[in-house]
Amino acid sequence: MNNVFVYCEIEGTQVQEVSQELLTKGRKLANTLGVQLEAVAAGSGITGKVESQILPYGVDKLHIFDAEGLAPYTSKPHTAVLVNLFKQEKPQICLMGADVVGRDLGPRVSSALHSGLTADCTSLEIGPHEDKKNGKTYENLLYQIRPAFGGNIVATIVNPENRPQMATVRSGVMKAEVLDPNYKGEVIIEDVAKFVPEAEYVTKVLDRHVEAAKNNLKGAPIIVAGGYGMGSKEGFDQLYELAKVLHAEVGASRAAVDAGFADHDLQIGQTGVTVRPKVYIACGISGAIQHVAGMKESGIIISINNDENAPINTIADYVINGTVEEVVPKLIKYYKQNSK
């Protein structure tokens, strides 16, 4: 009862990284609260395959739901798993990844349980809350912290009365760390039929293509990122050229993605990927909070911008006042010259 739960997303028999990141965070939250960490894994043919990918993060209890209809993921059966499990176990906190699955599942579960859900949190903390209207004080609430309003402000959200307190978090925001490779957690193989009525299996997946990620933004030591200031899709070509020379990956700000200059999976920021490269070269990126939230922990930040007041310049280690068209070819030229 009152434990911290993490819904583990599984592709085939592979537990997704974002889930392991959340297990790590969940362990810390559980320690602060003095409760246990529990994990939920639902899929098909996963028993015996996922335990070693979950328990080492400090999971005290793992609930496995293994049935044919649970993979690939569809909304209603997974909702039924969580809703009925939560009615039984009454968790105080539930975390899930803010990717397509988590953002499909989280709201559905919160709607069924009438519990609050905060999407795309960038930070989670435990703390007290005083409700000035009803004069009540709450201890140990989950602070769900996220940029809001297009990334112009940061809001702290709490769910004082309803449980579980639910939050989704993007991939890369938290760091995955194995607590103990031999951590002794209990594994419970649940009877799926007790949780998921036959009538819930309504979506038929006719066809499915999943490709391994085309880029390796999360793990890249050097990232060249372009913003709206790149001007066009063609403008990004020179970034690819620079990235090739530096053995870097190309990323983009949300404004550039929205404008169609770059693919969605290149988006860095609160609603994209969070990255921590050694070197981050921001080209024509103004630096909205929602972008900065996803790259501020980079080692060295270089900003190339013709607006010397661009907000990103305040967090940059090097500011180059100039246009991307002018500076990027020079970076390529002098890198080639000096690296020989």
Which residues within the stretch 222-261 sit at the binding site for another protein (CB under 8 A)?
222, 246, 255, 258
Binding to another protein (CB under 8 A) within 7-66 occurs at none
- d(C-alpha 62, C-alpha 187), whole Å: 5
Min dist CB 183 to another protein, Å, is: 28
203 touching another protein, by CB under 8 A: yes
- 158 sits near another protein (criterion: CB under 8 A): yes
Residue choice 139, 211, 216, 234 for contact with another protein (CB under 8 A): 211
Angle between helix 324-339 and 237-246 (nearest 10): 20
Out of 43, 56, 147, 251, the residue judged to bind another protein by CB under 8 A: 147
Give the burial string for 167-176 (b: 16+ CB within 10 Å, else e).
bbbbbbbbee
Q: Which residues between 303 and 332 bind another protein (CB under 8 A)? A: 303-304, 308, 311, 313-323, 326-327, 330-331
User: Which segment (25-33, 173-181, 233-241, 298-306) binds another protein by CB under 8 A?
Assistant: 298-306
Contact between 189 and another protein (CB under 8 A)? no
Asked whether position 279 contacts another protein by CB under 8 A, the answer is yes
CB of 35 to another protein, least distance (A): 20
- Show contacts with another protein in window 66-125 (CB under 8 A): 72, 74-76, 79-80, 83-84, 99-101, 103-112, 114-120
Token pair belonging to 22? 């959340």
Residue 118: CB minimum distance to another protein, A: 6
Least CB distance from residue 50 to another protein, whole Å? 18
177 vs 325 by CB, closer to another protein: 325
- Do 323 and 306 contact (CB within 8 A), yes or no? yes
Query: For the stretch 222-234, what's the b/e string if a residue is b when 16 or more beta carbons lie within 10 angstroms of its beta carbon?
Result: bbbbbbbbbbeee
The residue range among 22-30, 40-48, 59-67, 148-156 that interacts with another protein, by the rule CB under 8 A, is 148-156
Please give the single-letter amino acid code of residue 183: Y
Per CB under 8 A, 278 contacts another protein: yes
Beta-strand relationship, 14-15 and 10-11: antiparallel
List, in order, residues 6 or more apart from 147 with CB less than 8 Å away: 122, 153, 154, 155, 270, 289, 290, 293
- With CB under 8 A as the contact rule, the residue among 1, 34, 208, 216 that binds another protein is 208
Q: Which of 165, 115, 107 is nearest to 140 (CA)?
A: 165
Cβ proximity to another protein, 100 vs 188, nearer residue: 100
The region, left, alpha or beta by phi > 0 then psi within -120 to 50, assigned to residue 16 is beta
Q: Exposure pattern of 53-73 as b/e (b: 16+ CB <10 Å)?
A: bbbbbbbbbbbbbbbeebbeb
**Stretch touching another protein by CB under 8 A, among 45-53, 60-68, 183-191, 199-207:** 199-207
Q: Which region, judged by CB under 8 A, interacts with another protein, from 32-40, 62-70, 208-216, 232-240? A: 208-216
Cα angle 21, 192, 159 (rounded to 5 degrees) comes to 45
Cα dihedral 34/183/143/296 (nearest 10): 140
Which of 177/263 has CB closer to another protein? 263
DSSP-assigned letter for residue 113:
H
